[in-house]
Each structure stands twice: as C-alpha cells, then as structure tokens.
Chain A
C-alpha cells in the first residue's frame, strides 16, 4: 500500500502553516516483531482550523495525536510548529512548549480527583508564575464559558460525564494555547451530551481556536473544517 497524501507540503512551498507534518513514522517493538503504528504521514494544519482525525481503533490516530502534542517522539520525520522542529527540542523544552502552545483534552477527561473543578482548571497555570488573583479570574472565566461557573468548588466525581468533559476543555484552554488537541472528546458521552460538547468546540473554533480532534465517530466531524482519515498507518486528507 502506498501513501495517499492528497495535500502534501513540498519544501518549495513558501506558505507558512501552523503545523507541518513531514514524513513522520512511528515504529514499535512488540517482542521480536517491529510494528509500524504510523508508516508515513505528510500534511499540514493552518491556524484557525478545526481538523478531525478519523480512524478505526488501532489505526494509529491516537499515536499521531500524541506525536502532534510533543509527547511521543516519532521514529522518523519531523513536525514543525510555527516553523519550529519540536522534536529537535530537549524534553524539558518540549514541556515548556506544551505549556505555552498546546492544550490537551484527554480521553476520559483525566481530571485530578483530589482537586476541585476550579483547581483542576488552574492546574496548567501552576507553573506559569501567574498571580493567584489572575489565575482565579482566568479559571472562573473559562468555567463560565463552558457553563460550569456554579460548580467551581465541586470535586470531579461529583460531576456528570458531560460536566467532567467541560472541565477538561476548560483546563485545556485556560492558558489560551494556540492549539487544542482533543482525544475522543465524545467517546464516553451519550449523543445529546456529545452534541453539546461538539457545539462547545465549534464555538471555540469560531472564536479562532485551532482544534485537532481525534475521533472514530463520523457524526463528530460534521462541524470540522477538514477531516484526515487514518488507516493502516497512512493518512488520507479530505
């Protein structure tokens, strides 16, 4: 099978994209067998886009997202974020980059159970040196935005699934990162709540937020600007 890159990003192309993916691949060693989770992918994402990465379970989409998030070193290829090759940075520099540039909405929310909703939202700011008052204001503002202004002092396990997802979104956007990565944000929600979450993401995108969302649900892609299909370690960009 060959790579079916519809939109590639040749070197001579002078246009600067927010994210450029050049020939990335990821191999895993499973015992004595080498598994190619991602064989080859080339695409780009522009500022303000809402891109869905679609694929079946095991297609490599989650691996792709973790590589995009600076969390998983690709075996080959490079990723440019604002022209910066992120895997040429040290792991600590990449941590700083994640803190400043990337907000992540994890699959199954991944909230810290012993922190309140407000504290969970403030978590990314714990390392930014922002003053307590400023942190409080920013956290409360985003909680208002996701519709949880009145539940700031609850613990995560006192919230419904949809509400926990909203907290996860609030936490991901509180530092105003240019890029928002969402891993199956509707995966564990009923269809009504899933719609609400997708509407929220759409609103954020309309306000200028770049969003890259991994999903296996085609319904989740109806409001995205672009869909990248991932299959057998290759990507097919629509």
Chain B
C-alpha cells in the first residue's frame, strides 16, 4: 500500500465525480485545441495559397532614382547605371534570425543587350529555382535545363519570330530556344530568360546579381520582421515586402487567433472553476476520511500528495481526451470553416502543451482544497473520537 493506491482507489470509487471533473477539463482543453487547430489549418491553407503567388519579398539595390514605370508601362529607358550585389553574398540571406521562414531565394541578373539589331532585356536566372517560384508559368516546349538553353517571353518570340528549337546568338554566344512562355501579362512577356552565369558573362556582370526574389512563409512571423532582418544583412539593398498579399490575410488570421485565445482563456477559467468547486466539495465530503489519515499518522504532506495526485490523474486524462476530442472537432469543422480547407494534422507540441496545461490547471485548482484538507484538525475531522 502506497499513497498512490489511495488516490487510485478513491478515483475508482467516485466515478461520477471523476467523470464530471474530466469533462470540465475536457471541454476547456478541447475548445482550445479546436480553435488552435482550426487557426493553424487556416494559416496553412492561406500559406499554401500565397505560395502559389510566388515571391513576397523583393530585394533590389538601393537607388536614388525614382521608378519610371507604373503598372508595367515604362516611361524611361533602361537604367544602365544600376548597382549590383555580389552573388557570393546571396547565401547570407539564409543566416537571418527567422531563416526558417524563408522558402525560395531566386537571384537574377538583369541587363540590356542588342540581339538582331534590337534592344532586349536579358534576365539570367537559376532555372530550377525560378521555375519553382513561378509555378503558374505555362510554356511551350520543355523547361530549360542546360546553360545554353533559353526561355523567351511570348512578345519576344513574336518580335524575333522565334519558335522552339531555333538558335539565337546573343553577345557572340549561341543559344537554343527550348521554351516559349505563354503570355503572362507581366514583364516576362518581353524579355529573354537564360542561365544566370551565362548571362552574367554576356552582360559583363560576372559574380553580380541585380535583384533577388524571396518566397517567405509567414505563419509564425510578421513579414516586416523578415524584411528588417534582411535589410540589416544587406544595408545597400532595398528590401520590399509585397505586403498587400500577405498582410491582409495574415491579419485576419491573427484577429481570429486573438479571438480564439480570448475564448480559450474564458473556457479554461470556467473549467478551472469547475475543478475547484468539485475538489472543494470532494474535500468537504472526505473530512472524516482525512481525519482518519491524520489520526493514524499521515503528515499534512501525505494528505496533500493524495489529493494532488488525484488532481494530476484527472488533469492527465482530461488533457489527453481534450486534445484528441479537440482535434476530432477541428477535423469535422474544417470543411465548414474553409471551403476545400484541409485539416493541418496533429500538432504534437500542441498536444504536449494541452496535456501539461490540463494537469497544471487541475493542480492549481486543487491546491487550495488540498491545503485546506491537510490543515484539518484531526480531532475536529474525527468528531467521533
């Protein structure tokens, strides 16, 4: 016989009360888990959607000049005196504090060249990264794989009357057009896209990068924070977040999150109150029993141990059931909250926190009743003696 046997036996005997206690914690924890799981799923859903829009941070060299273009309409020639970044420094972007939130980093070199007596803008990219980033691009032919292969915009193809498989000489180097981009309505329509290093050579910008597009996930961080961190690393760069796309959606999620936390705190408060009242009642009911324990030599600490262990078991069971129940509710409720939304899956750290929270609440709510029990005067408790 150990103290825990007394706790287990008592819980076994008072099944109705235990179910009531567990239910109180279950409702509290399940509500929190449901709300957080739904918020998480919503975040993830929006994040996935945002990913399809490609880059949400653009890093360009800081320039004193004002932009002479608006909505794709350029009112000036190409600025030849642009400043460039060193390509070797680009990996430093991934050393920022929130580097985990960084997705793709796509460096580009830009420059004008004369092809068949016509000025054209060249953009050198790392094809693998670029194609992942611009996953909405549709094109004829196979995606370029070799450094001498080109991807050209629809307008460029029309201007130079190029088709897939045609050869093109740029700056003395021969290239093959393997891919023609279907009209996008954006800048890409009128440019020639080639391998980063090949174009760096043609543009005499070896080891230089004109701009970097970055795709960031911003579930856990404000995007402005990322922008700030990158700016600190590259003081010579102008880092801009495509805020509208991210912020408005993240803001609504944040608002929902705050609302969820508010509800969760309220529910938890009510749950704790329930545990407190039930535990108090239980202690009052057990006055005589506690008197017997004290009379046969149990210390105050022993009585507290018995009651707190019971609270811990109730908290553990309530926490586990609450976590499972909350996830089940979230799973069922997701289609109602977001159309085509998918359940984000079990978040085990949330599970751990939920169970610990449940145990902590149960213990805190039982602390006063346990103390009250341990302080019972044994002779008062055992009036019969």
Contacts and interface: CB of A to CB of B under 8 A. Distances in A.
B302 A112 contact: no
Contact of B295 (A69, A108, A119, A127): A69
Interface size class, chain B: 20 to 34
Contacts of A119: 1, 5, 9
A99 B6 CA distance: 17
A110 B382 contact: yes
Given A71-B378, A72-B379, A132-B1, 10 more contacts: A71-B382, A95-B294, A97-B297, A98-B295, A106-B382, A119-B1, A125-B1, A126-B2, A126-B6, A127-B299
A127 B5 CA distance: 12
Task: Please classify the interface of chain A as helix (H, G, I), strand (E, B), loop, or mixed, using the class held by over half of its residues.
Answer: helix
Nearest to B302: A127
Contacts of A126: 1-3, 5-6, 298, 302
A124 interface: yes
Contact of B3 (A113, A127, A132, A135): A127
Interface string A120-139: 00111111000010010000
Interface string B289-330: 100111111111110000000000000000000000000000
Most buried by B among A62, A65, A100, A104: A104
Interface of B: 1-3, 5-6, 9-10, 12-13, 288-289, 292-302, 378-379, 382, 384-385
B3 A62 contact: no
16 contacts: A66-B379, A66-B385, A71-B385, A95-B298, A99-B297, A100-B297, A106-B292, A106-B295, A106-B384, A110-B288, A110-B292, A112-B6, A123-B296, A127-B3, A127-B297, A132-B1
Nearest to B8: A114
A135 B2 CA distance: 10
Contact of A106 (B298, B301, B385): B385
Contacts of A110: 288, 292, 382, 384
Interface residues of A, number: 36
A99 B296 contact: yes
B12 A104 contact: no
